[in-house]
A and B are shown apart, each in its own frame.
Chain A
């Protein structure tokens, strides 16, 4: 079942995707039946705490699952064609030309021994078949495009600031004219001002190039600033999906509500931030029923036994028995 928000043709469809990681015979499910669709030019935030499956979801889309990961169900379609995400070699031609990734902390994501211009030009040569000269010219354009003076192209990564390196990473991500960019915590290691600049740059690129953006973060304020839509993940599942405006104004899932309440807000005069009680779930030995129920303030008996499905609610989707039961009630009364 594909949910496509507000109609329009989908650029990317993730359909019932499940990925397991095998560790010495013990298998743990990193993501479980994840389904969503992405339209061209749409910006979606993928939010969740560590281990919620947001990175695995993104890496699966980019065809970058690690060798110990196994796709145990579902599929990913790009413009209607199924991607061979579990076949490293077959996935190669799709990488970077359809979906590219802006990695976290671009210090280590850039090769320390090569000049940045060379690293940006590399995919142009190898994937677009450009000559060295053409690729270098394109790399210069890209540098200019992301706001780096072209004479800095001969610099090595360690000679640039964190923000500059992130810009280089973005320039590199644009090299093969992809239609989707995945930002894997692209602003995490940066100071607030640089963070804002990078988010602004991503937003500008998105509107100029009609890029779809999947922003992975645990920081809801980043999503509020730069996304149209947000998907909240918990223990490998999407628990809520909706427009940024609606979710911030009226969160439906208790986890989403607690996440929003835990954002420090200096304007509100609250002195303390309110953390979510309890620990993130153990993925090898996950709780029965709804994975969030041991930490949920609104938990009911059914939550401990039955996994709530991700159902349409209003213009979004939510996976919570609180809302299921109200729907059922409606159905019973009708």
Chain B
């Protein structure tokens, strides 16, 4: 209704997001500087190897570690980050962190994105229905199952799936993204990829569904007790009309926030599930980098995670404003 007000609302959300993003970048820098350990020593193969003090000093100078943290290193870090230069990996010698991340990103987006899509579609519908018919059979079953799934670690679900469908039944592969020797680009390779995808997607989706069911059910059961639902009934609307015209949009408000926030984790990957299935995504990369103390890679992943969460929050705010006129001012 009020264009100027809505514009200002979006503007303030954007400004807040940019400020948060800058703080994430700075915090990310600080975090990796307070972690114990000398990068120069790590680069030369750890503290135990015999390295001369001259060699260490040469490394420090080479990477600019001899200069003060503030302002030199911060400024350098900020300007490099803004140009997309995230430094070089320790473990994968000579490889750029940005390239490593970009290489692993598609596998994670496919895995977590698909799992989110499935979980949102089924979880939200189930939750809304359970809340609409509170106390019914569907409600009891869905709520019980969701709480169980919600509280089960998804890596354990993943291991269970591997034991049942891969090891015992032998129906689906439980490891990696491709069978060895598959020629990429063929139809066979696509089917092979999808077969590899099935179990990890199921594990991640099952872990998420419970959350959506619980939130959607709670939102809907709040809505059905609202006065405007009594008004809708008094107006002679059918149950279907009451649900679609009056309950649905109000119940979706908290759900949309949850969806948008969860989308932030799509790029971060499902660390534990990816580890269980050796899925070549960001989650797997995180574990590898942790084991190798590959700080630059970890720093890059943290930045990606932080940035995607900020963007997800931005989307959540904008979507909420679109759905709920009360927050637009």
Residue B230 lies at the interface, judged by CB distance under 8 Å to chain A: yes
Residue of B nearest to A127 (CB): B236
A120 CA to B241 CA in the complex, in Å?
15
Asked if B1 and A156 sit within 8 Å, CB to CB, the answer is yes
Kindly list chain A residues whose C-beta atoms are within 8 Å of the C-beta of B238. 92
Q: Which of B228, B236, B326 contacts A123 (CB 8 A)?
A: B236
A122 CA to B1 CA in the complex, in Å?
19
Kindly list chain A residues whose C-beta atoms are within 8 Å of the C-beta of B226. 108
- Chain A interface: which size bin? 20 to 34
Kindly list chain A residues whose C-beta atoms are within 8 Å of the C-beta of B241. 126
Q: Which of A100, A101, A112, A158 contacts B228 (CB 8 A)?
A: A112
Q: Which of B1, B228, B233, B323 contacts A111 (CB 8 A)?
A: B228
Q: Which of A92, A100, A109 contacts B227 (CB 8 A)?
A: A109
Q: Which of A94, A100, A126, A156 contacts B325 (CB 8 A)?
A: A156
> In the complex, how many angstroms separate the beta carbon of B187 from the nearest chain A beta carbon?
46
A317 CA to B237 CA in the complex, in Å?
38
A-B contact count (CB 8 A): 73
Kindly list chain A residues whose C-beta atoms are within 8 Å of the C-beta of B35. none
Kindly list chain A residues whose C-beta atoms are within 8 Å of the C-beta of B233. 64, 95
Asked if A97 and B325 sit within 8 Å, CB to CB, the answer is no
Residue of A94, A115, A123 with most partner-chain B CB within 10 A: A123
Asked if A122 and B250 sit within 8 Å, CB to CB, the answer is no
Asked if B325 and A96 sit within 8 Å, CB to CB, the answer is no
Residue B169 lies at the interface, judged by CB distance under 8 Å to chain A: no
Asked if B236 and A112 sit within 8 Å, CB to CB, the answer is no
Residue of A nearest to B248 (CB): A113
Asked if B234 and A62 sit within 8 Å, CB to CB, the answer is yes
Residue B103 lies at the interface, judged by CB distance under 8 Å to chain A: no
A100 CA to B228 CA in the complex, in Å?
14
Asked if A110 and B231 sit within 8 Å, CB to CB, the answer is yes
Interface string of A88-118 (1 = CB under 8 A from B): 0000111111001101010011111101000
Asked if A109 and B228 sit within 8 Å, CB to CB, the answer is yes
Interface size, chain B (Cβ < 8 Å)? 22
> In the complex, how many angstroms separate the beta carbon of A138 from the nearest chain B beta carbon?
14
Residue of A nearest to B238 (CB): A92
Q: Which of B231, B249, B324 contacts A109 (CB 8 A)?
A: B231
Kindly list chain B residues whose C-beta atoms are within 8 Å of the C-beta of A96. 234-236
> In the complex, how many angstroms separate the beta carbon of B71 from the nearest chain A beta carbon?
48
Asked if A112 and B326 sit within 8 Å, CB to CB, the answer is yes
Kindly list chain A residues whose C-beta atoms are within 8 Å of the C-beta of B246. 111
Asked if B325 and A95 sit within 8 Å, CB to CB, the answer is no
Kindly list chain B residues whose C-beta atoms are within 8 Å of the C-beta of A105. 227
Asked if A110 and B228 sit within 8 Å, CB to CB, the answer is yes
Q: Which of B1, B234, B245 contacts A154 (CB 8 A)?
A: B1
A109 CA to B234 CA in the complex, in Å?
11
Residue of A nearest to B223 (CB): A111
Kindly list chain B residues whose C-beta atoms are within 8 Å of the C-beta of A127. 235-236
Asked if B235 and A113 sit within 8 Å, CB to CB, the answer is no
Asked if A112 and B230 sit within 8 Å, CB to CB, the answer is no
Asked if B236 and A126 sit within 8 Å, CB to CB, the answer is yes
Q: Tell me whether A156 and B326 are in contact in the complex, defined as CB-CB below 8 angstroms, given that A108-B226, A108-B228, A111-B250 are known contacts.
A: yes
A96 CA to B235 CA in the complex, in Å?
5
Residue of A nearest to B250 (CB): A113
Asked if A97 and B236 sit within 8 Å, CB to CB, the answer is yes
Residue of A nearest to B229 (CB): A111
Asked if B230 and A158 sit within 8 Å, CB to CB, the answer is no
Asked if A101 and B250 sit within 8 Å, CB to CB, the answer is no
Kindly list chain B residues whose C-beta atoms are within 8 Å of the C-beta of A155. 1
> In the complex, how many angstroms separate the beta carbon of A125 from the nearest chain B beta carbon?
10
Kindly list chain B residues whose C-beta atoms are within 8 Å of the C-beta of A103. 227, 230-231, 234
A71 CA to B231 CA in the complex, in Å?
21
Asked if A112 and B324 sit within 8 Å, CB to CB, the answer is yes
> In the complex, how many angstroms separate the beta carbon of B247 from the nearest chain A beta carbon?
9
Asked if A92 and B325 sit within 8 Å, CB to CB, the answer is no
Asked if A158 and B326 sit within 8 Å, CB to CB, the answer is yes
Q: Tell me whether A158 and B234 are in contact in the complex, defined as CB-CB below 8 angstroms, given that A105-B227, A108-B226, A122-B245 are known contacts.
A: no
Q: Which residues of A contact B (CB under 8 A)?
A: 62, 64, 92-97, 100-101, 103, 105, 108-113, 115, 122-123, 126-127, 154-156, 158-159, 172, 176
For the complex of A and B, 7 pairs with smallest distance between CB atoms: A95-B236, A108-B227, A156-B325, A111-B228, A109-B227, A96-B236, A123-B235
| Beyond A156-B326, A176-B236, 10 additional pairs, beta carbon < 8 A | A62-B234, A92-B238, A96-B235, A100-B235, A103-B231, A108-B226, A111-B246, A113-B249, A113-B250, A154-B1
Q: Which residues of B contact A (CB under 8 A)?
A: 1, 226-228, 230-238, 241, 245-246, 249-250, 323-326
What are 23 A-B contacts with C-beta separation under 8 Å? A62-B234, A64-B234, A92-B236, A93-B236, A100-B234, A100-B235, A103-B227, A103-B230, A103-B231, A108-B226, A108-B227, A108-B228, A109-B227, A109-B231, A112-B324, A113-B324, A113-B325, A115-B1, A126-B236, A126-B241, A156-B325, A156-B326, A158-B325
